[in-house]
Chains A and B, each alone.
Chain A
Amino acid sequence: MSKPKSIQAKQQRAGWLFLAPATLLIFVMSFYPMIQAFIISLKKGSSANMQWQEPLFHNYERILQDKTFLTAMGNTFLYLIIEVPIMLILAILLAQILNNKDLKFRGLFRTMVFMPCAVSLVSYALIFKSLFATQGLINTALLNIGIISENINWLGQTTTARAVIIMGLIWRWTGYNMVFYLAGLQNIEYSVYEASKIDGANGWKTFWYITVPLLSPVIVMTAIMSINGTLQLFDESVNLTNGGPSNTTITMSHYIWNMSLGQGVAKFGYASALAFVVFIMVGILAFISMKVGDKRD
């Protein structure tokens, strides 16, 4: 009677041993630094000797007066509001089209739409930077067609620089999201579509009343991932515009970087306060998207 019990206990212990290294690493490399970040955010001074800030939440109070951070926050949300919906709708549309069994060259089309994912973030940021340079191909092409009469300084003006970042993001991530929707669509029985066709639903109706509701868990997940990713934008801001002109396209991560490890000013306390604010935002927005997703069902 006692023997099987001890075997079971042994198995249970083996299970714990198997998951221990990964769990330990997540605690040491994610949870513990998060707590540390909060503690540092209450301190002042440089890396070596830091003292408690007085009043304790002074770093957080400063954030509200920090014009650059408020701009960075505004930029991030601007990118979020414009880029994420366009990208996700485009991705669902493409997945819907590519899921049609009558379509020819499906594999080729899918590969080409997916291809931007093969390029690293730094690389694509530099490709876009070069394409949209004052002497770049976009200006040359527009001049030749006659749409513009003189070169546009795309990256030197706030509005156009922001537009280029948004275009870059859409270019890089649409195919990525499409892959999720294609995987999601494959779980939907083809007969559902056949049935809707027999019932006389047209393409748009099928899209809105069948595809979107059935995909809604995947849509929520991609939305969370996109929001999470957008709030953490870094590579594009650094390499495409370097935050410029005069910090008007800078993202929150880029600004935190500049405050802590870049540019030689190591304001670890203040930068940690900013980072903690980003963490709270990610949490809140993820929570909202999950709630919205639940209601849909």
Chain B
Amino acid sequence: MTKAKKKTNSSAIQRRLIPSYIFLVIVCIISVFPIYWMLTAATNTSFEVSTGKIWFGSNAIVNFQGLLKASIGSGAPLGKIMWNSFKYAGVQTLLCIFTCSLAGFGFELYHDKRKDRLFAFLLLAMMIPGVATLIPLFRMMSQFHLLSTVAAFILPGISTPFMIMMFRQNSRNFPVDIMEAARIDGLSEWAIFYRMYMPVMKSTYAAAAVITFMNAWNAYMWPRAVMSDNSAMTMQMLVANLSNGYSVDYGVLMMGVLFCSLPTMIIFFVLQKQFAEGITGAVK
């Protein structure tokens, strides 16, 4: 009896949710379709793409070869460009999470009035638009002969107020009593950081790493300014070049977009939880 009642009750609830379902399905179709279309276009000829084919074709290998040729035409082999993007994003991620976690640790667990004030001041840097510092930073990099080096790519992205804030907020969950106990046991402050803080904060590190890697991989304006050598090119620069030709081969272009998005898509599907935590990380 109660079971039957519950059942009708829940089906009534589901019936009331029908408009929600319809709305969600429409939104989901719009959200996913362009990505799905990109995948199909990467397997079709440019002609098939422009005649509106939206199913997978058999031209993937030809498109891939076209992409290889186009990347060499842009100045570097595809493998090299992929490796560049991985290298820059990887190095930036490692240095960023190390530097910012160290700072978050210092700001929260050793906090006093002066440190809090300094932190509030650092937050102001969030208001500085990337384009505003573009010219001075570009001149700085060229002055120190860093153009087209890893250093030029990563230096402005190693320390960001957002990441420091994220580690600082999450450090509140770090048990302070343990620190006292560790000090009595004779652990140095540095040892507390890398032997205790780093393992305890694993999930924050994961979220920070995912978001930093994604941002570095997707960066476009800054790399275009400072990575001007062909051999230093990134995937974003390569695909942007692909669409600049006189006649665009849509199959090849979408194959390029696919390669450009593959790492971030894999991260998205495998580490979605960490990704979501990463973007909302500092807002707790």
Asked, given contacts A112-B31, A275-B131, whether A36 binds B136 with beta carbons under 8 Å apart, the answer is yes
B residues lining the A interface (CB < 8 Å): 10, 13-14, 17, 20-21, 23-24, 27-28, 30-32, 34-35, 37-38, 41, 49-52, 54, 99-100, 102-103, 105-107, 109-112, 115, 118, 122, 125-140, 155-156, 158-161, 164, 189-190, 193, 217-218, 220-221, 224-225, 236, 239-240, 242-243, 248, 250, 253-254, 257, 260-261, 264-265, 267-269, 272, 275-276, 279-280, 283
CA distance A116 to B32 in the complex (A): 7
A234 neighbours in B (Cβ, 8 Å): 130-131, 220-221
Q: Determine if A180 and B280 form an interchain contact, defined as CB atoms under 8 angstroms apart.
A: yes
Q: Is the CB of B54 within 8 A of A137?
A: yes
Which residue of B is nearest A259, CB measured?
Answer: B135
Judge whether A253 and B129 touch: CB under 8 Å: yes
List chain B residues, Cβ under 8 A from A103.
Answer: 17, 20-21
Residue contact A33 to B133, C-beta cutoff 8 Å: yes
Q: Give chain A's interface residues, CB within 8 Å of chain B.
A: 10-12, 14-19, 21-23, 25-26, 29-34, 36-37, 40, 47, 90, 94, 97-98, 100, 102-104, 109, 111-124, 126-131, 133, 135-137, 140-141, 144, 171, 174-176, 179-180, 183-184, 218, 221, 228, 231-232, 234-235, 238-239, 252-253, 256-257, 260-261, 268, 271-272, 275-276, 278-279, 282-283, 286
- The reply to whether B279 and A129 contact each other, CB–CB distance below 8 Å, is no
Q: Is the CB of A235 within 8 A of B221?
A: yes
- If A23-B122, A279-B128 touch, whether A114 touches B283 (CB-CB below 8 Å) is no
Q: Is the CB of A26 within 8 A of B240?
A: no
Q: How far is the CA of A117 from the CA of B10 in the complex (A)?
A: 34
Q: How far is the CA of A120 from the CA of B272 in the complex (A)?
A: 16
Residue of A nearest to B164 (CB): A22
CA distance A224 to B138 in the complex (A): 27
> In whole angstroms, how far apart are the Cα atoms of A129 and B239 in the complex?
13
Closest B residue by C-beta to A255: B131
A12, A122, A239, A252, most chain B CB atoms within 10 A? A122
In the complex, the answer to whether A21 meets B103 with C-beta atoms within 8 Å is: yes
If A127-B37, A179-B280, A253-B221 are given as contacts, then 13 extra A-B residue pairs at C-beta distance below 8 Å, sorted by A number, are A15-B106, A15-B115, A18-B193, A30-B156, A114-B276, A122-B218, A130-B253, A130-B254, A140-B50, A235-B220, A252-B131, A275-B135, A279-B128
B196 to chain A, nearest CB (A): 14
**Residue among B217, B248, B283 making CB contact with A120, cutoff 8 Å:** B217
On whether the beta carbons of B283 and A37 are closer than 8 Å, the reply is no
Within 8 Å by CB of A279, from B49, B132, B159, lies B132
